[in-house]
Amino acid sequence: MKRRHALRALNGIFHRELLRTLRQRGRLVSAMVRPLVWLAIFAAGFRSVLGLSTTPPYQTYVLYEVYVVPGLAAMMLLFHAMASSLAMVYDREMGSMRLLLTAPLPRWYLLGARLLASVVVGLPLVYLFLVVARYWDVRPPMLGYLAVLPALVLSGLMLGAFGLLVSSLSTQMENFAGVMNFVIFPMFFASTALYPLWRLAEAGPVLATVAMLNPFSHAVELIRFALYLRFTPISFLVVLACLLVFFLAAVVGYDPGRGLWSRRGDQ
Partner 1 sequence: MNALSLDSVSHSFKQRRVLDAVSFSVAQGRVCILLGRNGAGKTTLFSLVTGLYHARFGSVQVFGHAMRTDPAAALAAMGVVFQQQTLDLDLTTAENLRYHAALHGLAAEVAEARMREELGRLAVLDRLHDPVRSLSGGQRRRVEIARALMHRPRILLLDEPTTGLDVPGRQALAHHVHGLCRERGIAALWATHFLEEVTPEDDVVVLHAGRVQWAGGADRIEAELGVASMTDAFAKLTAAA
Identify which of residues 93 and 127 has a Cβ nearer to partner 1 in the complex.
93
Per CB under 8 A, does 25 bind partner 1?
A: no
Identify which of residues 144 and 255 has a Cβ nearer to partner 1 in the complex.
255
Query: Cβ 128 to partner 1, closest distance in Å?
Result: 23
Query: Cβ 1 to partner 1, closest distance in Å?
Result: 7
Per CB under 8 A, does 12 bind partner 1?
A: yes
71-130 binders of partner 1 (CB under 8 A): 94-96, 98-106, 110
At 119, is the secondary structure helix, strand, or coil?
Answer: helix
The single residue among 1, 26, 48, 51 that binds partner 1, judged by CB under 8 A, is 1
Between the alpha carbon of residue 214 and those of residues 25, 183, 232, 235, the distances in Å are 31, 11, 16, 11
240-259 binders of partner 1 (CB under 8 A): 256-257, 259
Per CB under 8 A, does 4 bind partner 1?
A: yes
Of the candidates 190, 198, 150, 218, the one whose C-alpha atom is nearest the C-alpha of residue 50 is 198
State the Cα–Cα distance between residues 168 and 8, nearest whole angstrom: 25
Per CB under 8 A, does 181 bind partner 1?
A: no
Which run of H or E residues covers position 153? helix 142-169
State the Cα–Cα distance between residues 77 and 152, nearest whole angstrom: 8
State the Cα–Cα distance between residues 43 and 46, nearest whole angstrom: 5
- Nearest 5°: CA angle at 121, between 120 and 127? 80
Identify which of residues 23 and 54 has a Cβ nearer to partner 1 in the complex.
23
Identify which of residues 58 and 90 has a Cβ nearer to partner 1 in the complex.
90
Query: Cβ 97 to partner 1, closest distance in Å?
Result: 8
